[in-house]
Amino acid sequence: MEEERTHPDLKPLEQARRTAALCQEKLATDVTILDMRGVCDFTDFFVIATGRNARQTKAIYDEVAGTLKKDQQLLPRSTAGLVEASWIVADYLDVVLHLFTPETRGFYRLEDLWSDVPSVEVAAVG
């Protein structure tokens, strides 16, 4: 999806890693990056993370969206799930962010659905 990059200075993998790091900084757990480039034509990476509850999931989204907007001038093309906040999806074109509550992540099991795609190592935030 290089031709549709949302910000010319941030490559898709860098954007995915930055998104994952922001999730971790806001205490998200089980943060995973899936490399979708070989199997998907609408995005390059999924970033999947879990908040303890809907309130934390929404707070994680607010932090990620606010920081990406401020630092990289990135806005999601679309979002869904912000009201209920058990599964928030933010489509940044090259990267799609999925934020779940534990119950919802366990129900949808995206990593199992996409078990044939490689994951990208997420650096620990300390």
Domains within the chain, CATH numbers bracketed:
2-112 (3.30.460.10)
Residues 37-52 have pLDDT tens digits of 989 999 999 999 999 9
- Full-model pTM: 0.90
What are the tens digits of pLDDT across the range 30-89? 999 999 998 999 999 999 999 999 999 999 999 999 999 999 999 999 999 999 999 999
The 3 state secondary structure assigned to the chain is CHHHCCCCCCCHHHHHHHHHHHHHHCCCEEEEEEECCCCCCCCCEEEEEECCCHHHHHHHHHHHHHHHHHHHCCCCCEEECCCCCCEEEEECCCEEEEEECHHHHHHHCHHHHCCCCCEECCCCCC
Q: What does the pLDDT look like over 102-115, one tens digit per residue?
A: 999 999 999 999 99
